[in-house]
Structure 1
């Protein structure tokens, strides 16, 4: 390793030699140089090579200039690995090849003047769709969202992009990752377990717009952009009352109000025999049909409840079509770690989704979880063979099945 020292630009040759002598011998050699570039470029690691500072210096002082490290560089290796696992081709700016894969993540991409450099610029099908801001471990990501918004608005005009500003924003330390979808009516940052696949972002950016009522005689701006799941929530028709009890209709309506208000966590609490499962299936049917939810996770705490839920889906008659739910959409009861790629509903137990050692308490809080982050429900990380189940579920809607209304030591509602 080369020992590098940077002096002021006006430092004399004698000063350089004095400093070199003071440093003494070093196993990898030493490099003493003047600062020839702005400090900002060294922080960004742009200057990887340059000429020797003085042709008269001894050969032991003539070493390539090494880029200065930044605190967030430690997170880059983890981020690179996570992007590669998700199907992205990670490239440097000078070696950029948008034909290498459907999704390409370009490091250190220069933006418009005044907007700086994006740590990663995300391309899908040759068009820019998002950015990633890397931060050192321990950084509060909620305070970084504004920085990624600045990057999203700084894309050079000549670069192709289906939506401007760029809609998909990530902030990551390599351990914790936050995501903002600017296609939502009220965008906000939320924690995710992984980076989305290029196919997922490509599907979102190609979604058909939905019609929304005009605002002050003008088209709603959301009607002119690809519709996100939360945008489609604004277009849901009213809940049909035929075949449902008053409590079930009220529960489904209030759940959709909560989702429209950007409050994704909701608890439906009903008495035994009041029809909780039917209410849940009614809500799931509407989320899949009108919201185009790619996949819904139906979570239970015992195998027999999973079997009962599957029978309810098979017997449920849709109110507007007249056919059974399972005649329209695939429903899978998870019995292994293999996820059906076309299943719109996946039924599984808490134990299969996220097992924990018996010595650890159930429902232990996850240390360091940011506000608004989805709960894991168990302490520790999921088992490796269950990552596919978590990955599939996180692309859809989490709708836990409420099977117990009173905490009785066997499970929580």
Structure 2
């Protein structure tokens, strides 16, 4: 029997012939404890222009599990030509994502074992025969985690598996496991911070399922503050609870069920008879999940907080994308520091969340302000106070019809340039503004409106017709409505997976609110081509991206002062949404958010809210001035992209390509060498595409008649480019084909012409001999045999032709 030459084996062969046999021999169950090619990330989406590409990501070669819910170790393999521990750093990266302490690297000769549970010797070399058993790793893992025997039945309970192959993503599994561990230790206040669109509800479901199945928690309450959140949860993620689950309605708690879903409003109210939660004892629920806990549940004086305090014996888990940390409100103060955090930046880097392109639109009156002429009256006949009105005034205390029209035209033009049927949310200052914007957009899109009168809809809390269309708007299969104008109703709880355009024409000062609004676009839906989204910003709101609080936990600063409704930094809007006063206030502002300018006189307004010097004490009590006949111009648009550091940058795709590929190739010589050595240039092209090089965008910026080789040489290394036609002509000038027979010369000249027209991938294609004049010469195998002596000789001739094409110093004098 011929001995195996390990050095000649591929990585796949090393895994199948050496690594897997060693692992299985140690007692690992191939069906339940071993998973191969575990893809932990989806690959970051790179956006430039109107094109996008995903970066290719590698998979962990092997992951070992105690049970599907508990990963233990990562094994990273390399071909035998490499050193035994070459895969260790890659394995450690995967281990950090999975939160496991054991990593093995191997080239088939043995293993380098990285053991975080043994700090005195983190890495050691072991033989193939000494691979640890499942029991050995599990015992070490339990000791490392400090598990007590009483915790194990809870910790080892499997997550729900519907058989479809869906399992928690790595960060969801970390959030689930860390929460389960905390509960098993007896912790009763837990906070999870996960960016919008990362599956908080699915994560909550798996936490509840495992605790419920382990009989650690028997009666569970899922609390939310919006009906759409409760209904989406019940129908989608929580559906497996089936007959054990109920939605609390009619202010009645039915003790016959184990899993209860409820709106805060269904359990409490300002009157004693509305406090339905008191129908059961304080120890009735032993687990409460608080969805979107950054809102009312965090405020100490909130009527909804009394529910949590009444059921204080229960374990309470808060879910939020935006922890609330202001002078008055802190959910960290109530729940404690987050047990796990997964940010928007991490989600975008991993490819689970959509990156964004920002188009900042500057209008002349926004930047320069507008001042009425002396004695000027508005459309209602009110004399306008003589002062300069600025961006914060417009559509709040000063309505200028021409401004509304220009914003609507800009939105319309963007959609016409890109996709008129792209789901769009326009955030306005208030309901009145949302209605006027709806009307302006309808008038800007008469052809679309004629096709379907629901092309543009106002979806606000006061409009039953609009609210009834919310489900259709968020359903990817329903084309209409396309554009939704709103003020507050759609800031949270709207799972609009295919939303491609978020328009900001609203004064946004709350970081919490800004993050929630941005979250409307961050979901990815590959099935419907939603990989990224655009933010069209008219109010400089996207300057908040530069705030360090945007992608992190804000510093907790709590004091005892009373919230001032006139303080623009007090986040009173969010508090009012969740207090006892909200029932009365919602009658005025149906979206459920306090607007200091709506339906109340301006006796003592904030200058930051309505403009310095506005409305003297003796002025008429009107809400807004409304004028027209004011010329408004667009001064310009600036396009910015999300870069690799999570910052907005204004850069061309050439800049991005240069920056990216300088990390891959240290010099022009290295790139040329790699290109020259590649038997198929398509492999290099695909590799660069995997790094986020979007060829069609680069072609638009640089020139469509350039080969990828010349585009990279020119863009990255500042070399003067040659067009494909110039390269083809240089080959012809050198009388390159004379060394071949007549048939081969004809074939190669046709292929060279094909390269000139289409590029190198066209001559490498398996169908290259089936097109153009070549097809008249015979079948591909016949041509290869008669013209070149066989298939291998034909392939060698193509490689030589490519070398001639890419000769760095063409002989131009020939």
Same fold at TM > 0.5 = no
**Larger RCO, structure (CA 8 Å, separation 6 or more):** 2
| Structure with the greater alpha carbon radius of gyration | 2
**TM-score normalised to structure 2 length:** 0.17
Higher helix proportion: 2
